[in-house]
Amino acid sequence: QVQLVESGGGLVKPGGSLRLSCAASGFTFSDYYMSWIRQAPGKGLEWVSYISSSGSTIYYADSVKGRFTISRDNAKNSLYLQMNSLRAEDTAVYYCARDTRGAGMGAFDIWGQGTMVTVSS
């Protein structure tokens, strides 16, 4: 079945780094844009970044620009988020999501279960 599984979350000190991964299965990964979306504890959803199907187009939310890097490996059906210079306000559950922008829908139709990132000293 269509599935996204995130990994790589954990506890990190302010200023530290973490790399999240998202393994896709059940669909042709290389056909789809992909996004990272986060949700701070008890708060709403915040889009973080998206990457086009080929990896040639990338955008970031202003809150993470210059600190986070999104990438993908279509041969491995995997999406990544490299997070540097982490701050307390980056503490959140991070979801990867299948992004239907390429089909003109602009919606996230498949979500992973999320991975928790905690930034604290």
Partner 1 sequence: SYELTQPPSVSVSPGQTASITCSGDKLGDKYACWYQQKPGQSPVLVIYQDSKRPSGIPERFSGSNSGNTATLTISGTQAMDEADYYCQAWDSSLYVFGTGTKVTVL
- Residues lying near partner 1 in the complex (CB under 8 A): 35, 37, 44-47, 50, 59, 61-62, 95, 100-101, 105-109, 111-114
Which residue in the block uniquely carries the two structure tokens 């999501």? 97
| Smallest separation, CB 59 to partner 1 (Å) | 5
Backbone angles phi, psi at 31, to 5 degrees: -90, -10
| Smallest separation, CB 20 to partner 1 (Å) | 15
| Smallest separation, CB 98 to partner 1 (Å) | 10
Q: Which is nearer to partner 1, 11 or 105 (CB)?
A: 105
Q: Which is nearer to partner 1, 16 or 52 (CB)?
A: 52
Phi-psi region of 15 (alpha: psi -120 to 50; beta: other; left: phi over 0): left
Q: Which is nearer to partner 1, 16 or 67 (CB)?
A: 67
DSSP 76: G
| Smallest separation, CB 33 to partner 1 (Å) | 11
Amino acid at 84: N
Q: How many CB atoms lie within 10 A of CB 67?
A: 15
- Alpha-carbon torsion angle 58, 62, 63, 66, nearest 10: 60
Q: Which is nearer to partner 1, 83 or 110 (CB)?
A: 110
